[in-house]
Structure formats: C-alpha cells, structure tokens
C-alpha cells in the first residue's frame, strides 16, 4: 500500500469500515510511514473535536424548506446558463485578444508575418514581370 492509497483508507479506518485484511495492511504501513502516522493523528484529533461539539441543531422547519427547494422547478437554470455562456465567451474573447496582442508584439509575431508577406510579394511581382515582359518562367531555371 502506498501513501496515496493510505490517505483514502485512513478515514475509513477511523470510521471502522475496513475489513480485517485491510486494517492489518494499513497498520503495517503506519508502522513504517511517519507521514501517514501524522495524518492519522490529525484525523483522530479532528474526530475528537467533532464529537465534543456534538450534533448541530437544525431549525424546526429545515425539512420542509429543504424539500420545498429540492422539488421547486429549476426555472433559474437558463438565466444562469446564459450568464455562464456570456462569461465564458467574454473570457475567451479577452484571452484570444491578449494572445494575439502578445504574439503580434513578440519577435516572432510581426516579423514572421511581414517576412511571409514579403516572400509572397516577391513571388507575385516576379510572376507579373514575367507576364509583362512575356518571359517564359521555364527559361529562367
Ligand atoms: Zn505513508
């Protein structure tokens, strides 16, 4: 058992939910691992504090209000859905804008694009020269 698995088992262990084999394996790990032993100490302390506090009393109409809310038709979902969509789009547009701005002002942005444009311009103008002077492009090779 590794420490990640152990962290999952610790809560179950404190709640007495491990079977005999699992509990034995966990005990063996705790004997050899100070990190998990410390984790177990913290969990034990937390349980102790919680048991001192006792259950939190709920208001008398809690059940009624809970079921009212749980069974109420969820009319507001679309409103929040649109808000979420608008927020997402806003963030996306801002991100793309910032990304383009940073790219454009980076050494790769403008100069790379400009050199591409220059290359196409050179090709286009040599093609036009050939057409204008009726030169055959194959002669130039
Ligand atoms: Zn461990």
Q: Give residue-wise pLDDT tens across range 8-52.
A: 889 888 888 999 999 999 999 999 999 999 999 999 998 888 888
Kindly tell me if the per-residue pLDDT of 95 is higher than 90.
yes
Question: Which DSSP symbol is given to 32?
Answer: H
Task: Output 132 or 95, whichever has higher pLDDT.
Answer: 95
Residue ranges per domain, the chain? 3-53, 76-140
The token duo for 8 is 């999952």
From ligand 1's centre to the CA of 4, what distance in Å? 7
> pLDDT tens across 45-81, in order?
988 888 888 777 788 888 888 888 888 776 665 667 7
DSSP state of 133: T
Contact predicate 132/125, CB 8 Å: no
Label residues 26-49 b or e (16+ Cβ within 10 Å = b): beebbeebeebeebbeebeeeeee
Measured in Å, residue 49 CA sits from the centre of ligand 1 at 24
Instruction: Output the pLDDT for position 139.
Output: 60
CA of 2 to the centre of ligand 1 (A): 6
* Confidence class for position 82, pLDDT limits 50, 70, 90: confident
Asked whether the beta carbons of 36 and 3 are under 8 A apart, the reply is yes
The CA-CA-CA angle for residues 74, 79, 84, to 5°, reads 115
Instruction: Count other Cβ atoms within 10 Å, centred on residue 7.
Output: 14
Distance 28 CA to ligand 1 centre (A): 10
Q: Is 106 helix (H, G, I), strand (E, B) or coil?
A: coil
Query: Per 3-state DSSP, what percentage of the chain is helix, strand, and coil (rounded to 5)?
Result: 80, 0, 20
* Ligand 1 centroid, distance to 50 Cα (angstroms): 25
């Amino acid at each position: 058992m590794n420490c990640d698995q152990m962290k999952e088992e610790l809560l179950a262990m404190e709640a007495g939910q491990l079977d005999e084999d699992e509990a034995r394996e966990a005990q063996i790990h705790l004997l050899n691992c100070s990190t998990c032993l410390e984790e177990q100490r913290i969990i034990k302390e937390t349980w102790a504090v919680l048991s001192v506090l006792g259950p939190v009393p709920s208001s008398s109409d809690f059940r009624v209000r809970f079921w009212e809310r749980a069974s109420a038709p969820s009319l507001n979902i679309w409103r929040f859905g649109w808000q979420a969509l608008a927020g997402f789009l806003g963030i996306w547009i801002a991100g793309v804008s910032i990304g383009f701005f940073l790219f454009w002002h980076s050494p790769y942005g403008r100069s790379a694009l400009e050199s591409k444009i220059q290359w196409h311009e050179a090709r286009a103008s040599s093609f036009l020269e050939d057409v204008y002077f009726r030169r055959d492009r194959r002669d130039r090779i």
